[in-house]
């Protein structure tokens, strides 16, 4: 109903006597108010979402409209039901559900329970977008100009000559250059379209996470007659609406955001890792249980997902238990729907925001356009005196000719192969990264890593192993009078059972079968639902490993159990598959677990009832584990290490509490162990009585059963740092990269891990660690100030906080890399300059939103990738230096020869040969350069740093100037050696004597071409490092470069000494003296390059300025 739009409304209703046909009846509105609309209607009319009742001959309809903004998370369950069904005190809704009519009408109002499909850009639009780039635009212009000149030449040739093989060859040669440029542009566009298409899938993967079927409750009958309901088990989940009642069991994916109404098992746990990234399943509470805890965490919009214990979120997985739930949000209003919106927004922003390399190439293209324009204009202006040469019929013809020469030289200055070499260099980088466990999904991100200034990282699984490990075992020892609390270090890491416990021998469980250590082992083995599985090494070289099934906390107890076992597992010949459960198997063969008191959040403990199987006596035990502070309150005795049991005095209780606090202050998680046996165990709990099943049906009695316990010990566990992470963070500090750890852990735990991995050092008196809410409650200026310098820890953070942090860092001109694994991380991964997803724990959505994926989930791998990114940029600078220097040299050579009036220095075919055969292979091989010494001791380069800085341009120009001079010098020396003076060479076109030497220029051009090729190849050998001397980083460190230089030189020899190729290229063979001359002009480039390296390195810039 829309009371603001019309005075006449239409209502669909279904009278019983019209055979289920919908009839539209126009109704005259009598009264409109904010709360109700009263009008005359037939008495049989019913409409979902409205309370209809007779009043003075008319019907009043309560205004109804579903709103996703209502905080259903914190409302009492009955209030939530009333809001969704627009009724009052509808206490039977969870038993009846909606009717088909009600669901149909509401579905028309709110839409299907499906994510909105992302708007897709057509392939044609994507294709055109690839040409929106500065350097590409220049290449397009060059291709058009080159094609225009080629067509003009072809037209002139065909007009003046008959079509012969020689003419056909000339025509094909004129089309080679524009053809190559066009092919390069098409290749780059194809790669770009492929990258964009692969990046789309992150949005599409969200749709796959939504279940397709659900079990929904449907009401049959109406409110005025007897009502019955039935469960539809294969209901289309896309048709679910707010107010629907659904049934959930173990293994079901939640089809829509829902409130848990009731449990059909004692507990229910849900895996929300796809949303939160936390691998531990979350316990859920039905109805209004836990509502106070949720409310205490703030307003509904700000409550972290992991703290909403009454809510079940779409896409999460029920891992334990079953229940009935009330759908409160569907489709785009669910958490996944919100993620999709923010992901789409981040993707749009990402498309608008260019990578540092993209920005630099745009700037480089602009600079290059100025250079090309300057060359064209300079050549044309310098040639003005020759516009009236005898070769031209008039001044205009000469002007047009030299305009073509100027444009041709400008075209020659373009490094046509640069985009292809950049793409190839990035591709080579992806291969090298793959060898370091990094899968690159978006090619430009390879180089962006070199600019990374901040790494925002998760803790669990990235800085740590994500394998809970027992690190300490606490026992009570003494003679009954002086009781000591002794902490024993546990050696070993992760789930590997190989290790030992200091101070406890492997034979203790045999010597003292009733001692505290043996009792603790029984508790860890029996009061445990996890499994530790050993995977044996295979013949193909795969190493043995240990994996778990169940909760990581329980699995850590199994690893400790095997270390306490009677056999020193590290010294046996057993395989991992046997070591994983050797001692536990012995215990399970001796004891039978016949009942379980499941864990709940209130009492924070779990117990099992076990009976002895390998004894004539009927020994029964209640074995219990849980939060030690809660467990200690229900204990009356303690068991000492020697097996004696003594009363738990007030003084001893205080000592144990102090030990628990001390362990907690070290950011360790404590698990208390206790037992109840003998006469203290209630008779009705004994297996032989058979009545224990009745007693255990009521879970509210579990806490009273778990009283009178005997305390047996404490296990301290933690998720330990990964090997090498601390060293990697030290390397980040040296490289000028800051690290921000973002975790959902408590502040104390986060700070402890931060110190362990060197995010904070012992010298840091005050560690900048904030809870998420605390940080974002600060004024924005203060938040930005905190983010400007140093390392940082954000704890109790939500995945949504990551995107906010990324945007703030980007506003400070930082280049942040962001790690993530959950669906909620996807927007932040998309937003970041470098999104890094976890390969092991990451969801498909996170992986597809990211720029790269870590195969091993290891932080150290990110640092390796950053080093590779810096190396790639250095290599790109190396081949840009090489290509631009060579092109400048070629242009300067032709320019000098043109200005001086020399005969043709080189033919267009020669220049094309040099660009393709001589420049291409070495430039490609420079992409294989090894990392520079000290690469990771430099600060990150600024994203605004230009590829063609004024210093670089000066450097390229100096080297290029010598290349041009050397080419012209060896060319001129040929004539000078034969008695032609410099002035005669300049006026060759008007010569009167010895003119025959100008008739065949093959010999001087061969010298010029050979010198140009040799000097450029020597320049390539000097380019293994931009800054380091060739004596420090020589060409032998890049075998591909040696090959890339050898092959072009061999090809150059082939065109000189092969008769057929000699004729095609217009060359002649050179003798030994000629080659000595070539070397004499070429070798100085090595000294010049060394001098430039020294002058332009950071510590030499002062000398340069002097």
Buried b (16+ CB within 10 A) or exposed e, 333-346: bbbbbbbbebbbeb
- Please give the backbone phi and psi of residue 55, each rounded to the nearest 5 degrees, phi first: -155, 110
Beta bridge partners of 263: 323
Q: Give the C-alpha separation, 687 to 618, whole Å.
A: 9
Main-chain dihedrals φ then ψ at residue 713, nearest 5 degrees: 155, 180
Instruction: Look at residues 835, 860, 857 and name the one whose alpha carbon lies nearest to residue 846.
Output: 835
Crossing angle between the packed helical segments 799-811 and 335-352, to the nearest 10 degrees: 20
Query: How far is the C-alpha of 1092 from the C-alpha of 956, rounded, in Å?
Result: 9
3-state secondary structure of 866: helix
**Residue 234 is inside which H or E element, if any?**
strand 228-236
Are residues 270 and 254 in contact, defined by beta-carbon separation less than 8 angstroms?
yes
Q: Give 958-983 as a 3 state SS string.
A: HHHHHHHHHHHHHHHHHHHCCCCCHH
How, if at all, do strands 738-742 and 792-795 pair? parallel
Q: Which residues contact 495 (CB under 8 A, 6 or more apart)?
A: 467, 469, 532, 546, 547, 548, 555, 556, 558, 559
> Using an 8 Å Cβ cutoff, are 470 and 713 in contact?
no
The Cα 403–Cα 1011 span in angstroms is 28
Among candidate residues 428, 435, 214, 418, the one with its CA nearest the CA of residue 330: 214
Q: Which two tokens stand for residue 311?
A: 């809510």
Would residue 254 be called left, alpha or beta, if left means φ above 0 and alpha means ψ between -120 and 50 degrees?
Answer: beta
Q: What CA–CA distance (Å, rounded) separates 407 from 395?
A: 18
State how far the Cα of 530 lies from the Cα of 104, in Å rounded to an integer. 45
- What's the start-to-end Cα distance of the chain, in Å? 82
CA distance 333 to 1054: 71
10 Å CB burial of residue 642 (0-12, 13-18, 19+) is middle
The count of other CB atoms within 10 Å of the CB of residue 158 is 12
* Element housing 578 (H / E): helix 576-579
Phi then psi for residue 670, to 5 deg, are -105, 140
List the catalytic residue out of 244, 257, 458, 1027.
Answer: 458
Question: Is residue 458 among the annotated active site residues?
Answer: yes
347 vs 203: CA distance, rounded Å:
9
**Cβ neighbours of residue 522 closer than 8 Å, sequence gap 6 or more:** 587, 591, 610, 621, 623, 675
CA dihedral for 327, 333, 338, 339, sign (positive or negative):
positive
**Separation in Å, CA 479 to CA 483, 486, 574, 709, 710:** 7, 14, 38, 21, 17
Which helix (H) or strand (E) segment holds residue 545: the answer is strand 545-549
Which residue in 551, 542, 549, 548 sits closest to 497, CA to CA? 548
Q: Give the C-alpha separation, 172 to 157, whole Å.
A: 12
Is-contact 19 29, C-beta < 8 A? no
β-strand partners of 216: 232, 246
Q: Specify the 3-state DSSP secondary structure of 420.
A: helix
DSSP state of 117: P
Contact 784, 758 (CB under 8 A): no
Please identify every residue annotated as catalytic: 458
């Amino acid at each position: 109903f829309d009371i603001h739009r019309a005075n006449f409304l239409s209502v669909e209703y279904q009278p019983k006597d019209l055979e289920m046909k919908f009839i539209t009846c126009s109704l005259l509105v009598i009264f409109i108010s904010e709360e109700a609309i009263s009008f005359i209607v037939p008495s049989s009319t019913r409409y979902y979402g409205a309370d209809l009742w007779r009043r003075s001959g008319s019907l009043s309809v309560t205004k109804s409209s579903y709103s996703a903004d209502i905080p259903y998370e914190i409302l009492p369950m009955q209030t939530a039901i009333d809001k969704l069904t627009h009724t009052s005190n509808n206490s039977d809704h969870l038993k009846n559900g909606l009717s088909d009519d009600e669901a149909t009408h509401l579905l028309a109002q709110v839409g299907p329970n499906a994510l909105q499909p992302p708007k897709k850009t057509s392939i044609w639009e994507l294709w055109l977008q690839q040409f929106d780039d500065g350097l590409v635009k220049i290449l397009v212009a060059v291709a058009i100009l080159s094609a225009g000149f080629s067509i003009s030449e072809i037209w002139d040739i065909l007009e003046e000559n008959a079509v012969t093989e020689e003419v056909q060859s000339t025509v094909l040669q004129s089309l080679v250059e524009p053809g190559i440029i066009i092919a390069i542009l098409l290749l780059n566009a194809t790669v770009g379209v492929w990258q964009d298409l692969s990046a789309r899938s992150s949005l599409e993967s969200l749709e796959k996470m939504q279940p397709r079927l659900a079990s929904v409750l449907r009401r049959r009958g109406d409110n005025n007659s007897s009502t019955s309901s039935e469960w539809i088990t294969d209901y289309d989940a896309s048709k679910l609406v707010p107010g629907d009642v659904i049934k959930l069991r173990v293994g079901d994916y939640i089809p829509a955001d829902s409130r848990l109404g009731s449990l059909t098992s004692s507990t229910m746990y849900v895996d929300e890792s796809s949303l939160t990234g936390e691998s531990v399943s979350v316990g859920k509470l039905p109805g209004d249980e836990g509502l106070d805890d949720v409310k205490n965490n703030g307003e509904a919009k700000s409550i972290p997902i992991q703290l909403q214990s009454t809510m079940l979120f779409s896409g999460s997985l029920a891992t334990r238990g079953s229940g009935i739930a009330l759908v409160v949000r569907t489709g785009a209003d669910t958490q996944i729907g919100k993620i999709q919106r923010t992901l789409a927004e981040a993707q749009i922003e990402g498309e608008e925001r260019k990578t540092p390399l993209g920005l630099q190439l745009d700037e480089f293209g602009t600079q290059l356009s100025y250079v090309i324009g300057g060359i064209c204009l300079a050549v044309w202006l310098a040639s003005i005196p020759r516009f009236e040469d005898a070769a031209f019929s008039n001044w205009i013809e000469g002007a047009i000719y030299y305009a073509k020469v100027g444009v041709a030289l400008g075209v020659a200055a373009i490094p046509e192969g640069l985009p292809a070499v950049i793409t190839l260099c990035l591709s080579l980088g992806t291969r090298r990264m793959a060898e370091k466990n990094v899968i690159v999904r978006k090619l430009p991100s390879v180089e962006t890593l070199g600019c990374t200034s901040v790494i925002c990282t998760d803790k669990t699984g990235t800085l740590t192993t994500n394998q809970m490990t027992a690190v300490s075992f606490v026992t009570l020892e003494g003679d009954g009078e002086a009781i000591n609390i002794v902490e024993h270090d546990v050696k070993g890491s992760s789930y590997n059972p190989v290790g030992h416990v200091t101070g406890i021998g492997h034979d203790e469980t045999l010597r003292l079968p009733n001692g505290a250590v043996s009792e603790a082992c029984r508790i860890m083995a029996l009061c445990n639902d996890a499994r530790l599985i050993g995977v044996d090494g295979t013949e193909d070289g795969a190493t043995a490993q240990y994996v778990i099934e169940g909760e990581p906390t329980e699995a850590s107890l199994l690893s400790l159990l095997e270390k306490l076992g009677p056999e020193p597992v590290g010294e046996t010949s057993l395989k991992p598959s046997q070591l994983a459960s050797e001692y536990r198997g012995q215990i399970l063969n001796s004891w039978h677990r016949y009942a379980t008191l499941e864990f709940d959040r209130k009492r924070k403990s779990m117990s099992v009832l076990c009976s002895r199987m390998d004894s004539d006596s009927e020994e029964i035990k209640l074995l219990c584990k849980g939060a030690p502070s809660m467990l200690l309150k229900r204990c009356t005795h303690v068991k000492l290490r020697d097996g004696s049991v003594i009363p738990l005095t007030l003084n001893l209780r205080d000592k144990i509490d102090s030990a628990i606090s001390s362990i907690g202050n070290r950011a360790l998680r404590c698990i208390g162990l206790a037992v109840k046996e003998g006469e203290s165990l209630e008779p009705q709990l004994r297996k032989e009585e058979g009545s224990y099943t009745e007693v255990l049906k009521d879970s509210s009695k579990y806490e009273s059963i778990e009283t009178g316990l005997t305390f047996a010990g404490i296990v301290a566990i933690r998720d330990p740092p990964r090997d090498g992470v601390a060293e990697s963070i030290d390397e980040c500090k040296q490289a000028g990269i800051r690290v921000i750890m973002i975790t959902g852990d408590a502040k104390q735990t986060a700070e402890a891990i931060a110190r362990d991995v060197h995010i904070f050092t012992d010298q840091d008196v005050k560690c900048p660690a904030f809870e998420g809410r605390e940080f974002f409650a600060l004024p924005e200026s203060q938040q930005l100030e905190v983010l400007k310098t140093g390392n940082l820890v954000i704890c109790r953070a939500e995945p949504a906080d990551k995107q906010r942090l990324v945007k703030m860092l980007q506003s400070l001109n930082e280049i942040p890399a962001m790690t993530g694994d959950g669906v909620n991380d996807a927007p932040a991964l998309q937003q970041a300059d470098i999104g890094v997803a976890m390969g092991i724990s990451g969801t498909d959505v996170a992986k597809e939103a990211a720029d790269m994926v870590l195969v091993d989930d290891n932080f150290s791998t990110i640092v390796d990738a950053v080093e590779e990114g810096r190396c790639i940029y250095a290599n790109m600078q190396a081949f840009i230096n090489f290509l631009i220097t060579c092109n400048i040299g070629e242009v300067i050579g032709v320019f000098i020869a043109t200005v001086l009036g020399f005969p043709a220095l080189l033919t267009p075919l020669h220049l094309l040969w040099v660009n393709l055969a001589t420049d291409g292979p070495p430039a490609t091989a420079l992409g294989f350069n090894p990392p520079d010494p000290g690469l990771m001791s430099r600060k990150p380069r600024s994203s605004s740093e230009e590829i063609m800085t004024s210093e670089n341009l000066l450097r390229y120009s100096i080297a290029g100037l010598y290349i041009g001079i050397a080419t012209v010098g060896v060319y001129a020396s040929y004539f000078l050696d034969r008695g032609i003076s410099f002035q005669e060479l300049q006026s060759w076109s008007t010569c009167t004597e010895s003119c025959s030497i100008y008739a065949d220029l093959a010999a001087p051009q061969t010298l010029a071409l050979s010198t140009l090729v040799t000097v450029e190849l020597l320049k390539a050998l000097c380019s293994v490092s931009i800054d380091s001397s060739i004596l420090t980083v020589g060409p032998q460190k890049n075998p591909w470069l040696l090959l890339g230089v050898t092959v072009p030189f061999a090809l150059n020899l082939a065109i000189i000494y092969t008769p057929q190729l000699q004729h095609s290229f217009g060359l002649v063979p050179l003798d030994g003296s000629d080659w000595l001359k070539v070397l004499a002009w070429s070798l100085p480039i090595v000294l010049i390059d060394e001098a430039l390296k020294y002058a332009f390195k950071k510590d030499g810039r002062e000398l340069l300025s002097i």
